[in-house]
Copies of this chain bind each other. A is one copy, B any other.
């Protein structure tokens, strides 16, 4: 174990409890979200959506809509100056469905409207007449595989991926116990507080500025540049305050921006396009439903010999990010264990439903639910404690992952298990639960465990995007400006980046300001996903600040006649180690400015090269891995099927705690969102149309549902390449929860949960 306290190595900001830098703005309502923008001459945009899951568009008639007073533009595919093509990975998605082509789900966009008010825009949208020829839709994974109807001419299988490690047949042959089962994990909706929104503004120099709620400004920039046929240097994208994202604002804002930009292009007026909650839920991406079959073989001593997985993901009408989500599902499908024989096959299939895409965990909560359930089944058969079984098979330094990636450092997996056992007082807890269950007939408690691994970075399949850029400027009064290419969407990036800059420069945090990410300041820094911001942008900020500090150090040493090795930047002061020579950071900045010392610097961090073989699925899948273990206690009402989570203990290996308060916030939020996925968030569809398109029918946890006891712990097994040793937390925070809760319910009711969300209806169906 390698836990070092901040105090010991003398950090002044890193690891300390600090105030979130954007707290006041957000709490007081001053923070400006895109819907708060109100520009002179601004128009309001809206969409004309498909009215069928699958149909041929025969004719689009905009004439009457056009004549409506106050309607300023009604656009169809004919009005696209560039390519009518969206989609980050596969070019299968039009921006506006052309006549003659098919609408492929209820959220497909047929026309765009801009008007003086939103009311007029919606009225005009209703007046657009589209003649359809209805076609039989593909609505399930089974129908897709059957292939009678095709969502796209290319066929219904989008992409297939596999892992072939060792030989699972031999592994099973040598196993004493084999468990095998089917699992299904359903959709999840992001339910970010702020719906999708973009403001597109042309200036008179033919330059376009996009303001909006988003995770990935560079995706937006490229998409808009293609749609409008503009060079990238004329398209500037500024991310403004983003009210939650969770992956739902990874690729979708590119589509929203393309729509808004088209309207602005044709009207030459600013156009604000903010989705209604219903339009947002109907059209935007979801967590993928995954059907899977798991088989696991173990020796009597508890060692896992082989894991075999066959899984199918429901991609929806367009591929969007599915190929890369599938990469992550694939890599994580066999769980967090040291297993010699692994075979995974995973297919993504098109259906005439909402496209699925990125969602916190990115294709892994579904497979962790399955692997952790089957591991629990195996434990039951072996009659060993589930914790003990996980501890036996956990990854350690020297282990190899499911893709045979040799782990050389920063493997805090075992510590996370040890910590939760201790935190939860696991043995006593088991006794308490047993006693409760003896006493109660209609309410049963259960304990559930899960143990996960998470690949930090975009990984081998996303290396071409995996870099980050920073620009730092120390002004002549010592105040500091930071620019990065990754976004703040509520997760606390602004605070962590400010802390890193403060630590390096020794300048106080309140003198440092991180601007809204803006593509014009920094190079493409990849998407803000994959829990990569702290590592990637953090390293870039560290490098940029380090360059400036170096030059200020040289100036200080020269003018104060001291060695560059004896200059310390700390708490707003710059001094020799004995303190004999000292000046404030602000005063030194002023001096350096007058001496023409360069006080601006760029930082650039790129992924170390990863070797991975797509044929076998083996190799270095990610730059490093985070680990987590969770124990939850649930109470199930056997008369209603309703589950309450009453206690949870979770331990995360984060490499290094940079912002402890931020980490706790992430884990709290991740836990609650994972809980919603585990028990209540049930997306219902009818013939491909989403029925649960607002919060009255799509049920997310409320503050009343959060367990009274939610204990959070961090393991600090430092990752050398991370800034100050840090890894990531954004997604691992959610990932163990659905599996742990499902296992706890199974434990409580004595029946295996094989489908999440384990709604009351589903639980009752098992009890009947």
Give residues in A with beta carbon < 8 Å to B.
25, 30-32, 38-40, 42, 203-205, 222, 225, 231-234, 463-464, 466-467, 469, 471, 473, 475-477, 479-481, 511-513, 515, 520-524, 593-596, 598-602, 604, 606-607
Q: Are A600 and B39 in contact (CB under 8 A)?
A: no
Q: Are A477 and B523 in contact (CB under 8 A)?
A: no
Q: Are A520 and B481 in contact (CB under 8 A)?
A: yes
With both beta carbons as reference points, the residue of chain B lying nearest to A482 in the complex is identified as B233
Q: Are B479 and A25 in contact (CB under 8 A)?
A: no
List the B side residues contacting A204 at CB < 8 Å: 25, 30-32
Q: Are A231 and B602 in contact (CB under 8 A)?
A: no
Question: Which of B469, B475, B598 is within 8 Å of A469, CB to CB?
Answer: B598
Cα-based distance from A102 to B256 in the complex (angstroms) = 59
Q: How far is the CB of A589 from chain B (nearest CB, A)?
A: 10
List the B side residues contacting A600 at CB < 8 Å: 469, 471, 522-523, 602, 604
Cα-based distance from A606 to B596 in the complex (angstroms) = 6
Assuming the contacts A234-B479, A513-B233, asked whether A520 and B205 have C-beta atoms less than 8 A apart, the reply is no
Cα-based distance from A25 to B464 in the complex (angstroms) = 38
Given A233-B480, A234-B479, 19 other A-B residues pairs in contact with their CB atoms under 8 A: A25-B205, A31-B205, A32-B204, A231-B479, A231-B511, A233-B475, A233-B481, A233-B512, A464-B594, A464-B595, A466-B596, A467-B596, A469-B600, A471-B521, A520-B521, A523-B599, A598-B606, A601-B602, A602-B602
Q: Are A524 and B477 in contact (CB under 8 A)?
A: no
Cα-based distance from A600 to B471 in the complex (angstroms) = 10
Query: Nearest 6 CB-CB pairs, A to B?
Result: A233-B479, A231-B479, A232-B475, A596-B606, A467-B596, A464-B594
Question: Which of B31, B234, B604 is within 8 Å of A513, CB to CB?
Answer: B234
Q: Are B231 and A523 in contact (CB under 8 A)?
A: no
Cα-based distance from A467 to B203 in the complex (angstroms) = 31
Cα-based distance from A467 to B594 in the complex (angstroms) = 10
Q: Are B513 and A593 in contact (CB under 8 A)?
A: no
Cα-based distance from A125 to B512 in the complex (angstroms) = 39
Q: Are B598 and A604 in contact (CB under 8 A)?
A: yes
- Residue pairs across A and B with Cβ atoms less than 8 A apart, 17 shown, are A30-B204, A32-B204, A39-B40, A222-B476, A232-B477, A233-B473, A234-B479, A234-B513, A464-B595, A467-B596, A471-B521, A473-B520, A522-B600, A523-B598, A523-B599, A598-B604, A600-B602
List the B side residues contacting A596 at CB < 8 Å: 463-464, 466-467, 606-607
Q: Are B524 and A520 in contact (CB under 8 A)?
A: no
Q: How far is the CB of A692 from chain B (nearest CB, A)?
A: 34
With both beta carbons as reference points, the residue of chain B lying nearest to A29 in the complex is identified as B204
Q: How far is the CB of A531 from chain B (nearest CB, A)?
A: 19
Q: Are B479 and A232 in contact (CB under 8 A)?
A: yes
With both beta carbons as reference points, the residue of chain B lying nearest to A40 in the complex is identified as B40
List the B side residues contacting A511 at CB < 8 Å: 231, 233
Q: How far is the CB of A324 from chain B (nearest CB, A)?
A: 15
Q: Are A231 and B39 in contact (CB under 8 A)?
A: no
List the B side residues contacting A593 at CB < 8 Å: 464, 524
With both beta carbons as reference points, the residue of chain B lying nearest to A515 in the complex is identified as B520
Q: How far is the CB of A521 from chain B (nearest CB, A)?
A: 7
Cα-based distance from A42 to B522 in the complex (angstroms) = 31
With both beta carbons as reference points, the residue of chain B lying nearest to A475 in the complex is identified as B232
List the B side residues contacting A466 at CB < 8 Å: 596
List the B side residues contacting A473 at CB < 8 Å: 233, 520, 523
Residue of A25, A31, A40, A475 most packed against chain B (CB within 10 A): A475
Q: How far is the CB of A454 from chain B (nearest CB, A)?
A: 22
Cα-based distance from A41 to B401 in the complex (angstroms) = 60
With both beta carbons as reference points, the residue of chain B lying nearest to A480 in the complex is identified as B233
Cα-based distance from A466 to B597 in the complex (angstroms) = 11
List the B side residues contacting A476 at CB < 8 Å: 222, 232, 524
Cα-based distance from A604 to B513 in the complex (angstroms) = 23
Cα-based distance from A204 to B481 in the complex (angstroms) = 17
With both beta carbons as reference points, the residue of chain B lying nearest to A601 in the complex is identified as B602
Q: Are A477 and B599 in contact (CB under 8 A)?
A: no
Cα-based distance from A536 to B30 in the complex (angstroms) = 41
List the B side residues contacting A464 at CB < 8 Å: 593-596
Cα-based distance from A601 to B601 in the complex (angstroms) = 9
Cα-based distance from A32 to B513 in the complex (angstroms) = 30
Q: Are B522 and A205 in contact (CB under 8 A)?
A: no
With both beta carbons as reference points, the residue of chain B lying nearest to A609 in the complex is identified as B596
Assuming the contacts A30-B205, A204-B25, A604-B598, asked whether A521 and B524 have C-beta atoms less than 8 A apart, the reply is no
Cα-based distance from A231 to B480 in the complex (angstroms) = 9
List the B side residues contacting A480 at CB < 8 Å: 233
With both beta carbons as reference points, the residue of chain B lying nearest to A510 in the complex is identified as B231
Cα-based distance from A601 to B521 in the complex (angstroms) = 11
Q: How far is the CB of A652 from chain B (nearest CB, A)?
A: 28
With both beta carbons as reference points, the residue of chain B lying nearest to A270 in the complex is identified as B40
Q: How far is the CB of A149 from chain B (nearest CB, A)?
A: 36
With both beta carbons as reference points, the residue of chain B lying nearest to A520 in the complex is identified as B481
Cα-based distance from A38 to B479 in the complex (angstroms) = 31
Cα-based distance from A513 to B25 in the complex (angstroms) = 35
List the B side residues contacting A594 at CB < 8 Å: 464
With both beta carbons as reference points, the residue of chain B lying nearest to A203 in the complex is identified as B32
With both beta carbons as reference points, the residue of chain B lying nearest to A469 in the complex is identified as B600
Cα-based distance from A341 to B524 in the complex (angstroms) = 61
Cα-based distance from A31 to B466 in the complex (angstroms) = 39
Cα-based distance from A493 to B511 in the complex (angstroms) = 34
Cα-based distance from A479 to B466 in the complex (angstroms) = 21
Q: How far is the CB of A714 from chain B (nearest CB, A)?
A: 30
Cα-based distance from A480 to B602 in the complex (angstroms) = 17
Cα-based distance from A9 to B520 in the complex (angstroms) = 34
Q: How far is the CB of A38 from chain B (nearest CB, A)?
A: 6
List the B side residues contacting A522 at CB < 8 Å: 600
Cα-based distance from A602 to B38 in the complex (angstroms) = 35
List the B side residues contacting A515 at CB < 8 Å: 520
List the B side residues contacting A463 at CB < 8 Å: 596
Q: How far is the CB of A271 from chain B (nearest CB, A)?
A: 15
Residue of A25, A467, A521, A596 most packed against chain B (CB within 10 A): A596
Q: How far is the CB of A535 from chain B (nearest CB, A)?
A: 14
Cα-based distance from A296 to B233 in the complex (angstroms) = 58
Cα-based distance from A204 to B39 in the complex (angstroms) = 15
Q: How far is the CB of A249 from chain B (nearest CB, A)?
A: 21
Cα-based distance from A40 to B594 in the complex (angstroms) = 39
List the B side residues contacting A479 at CB < 8 Å: 231-234
With both beta carbons as reference points, the residue of chain B lying nearest to A521 in the complex is identified as B521
List the B side residues contacting A602 at CB < 8 Å: 598, 600-602
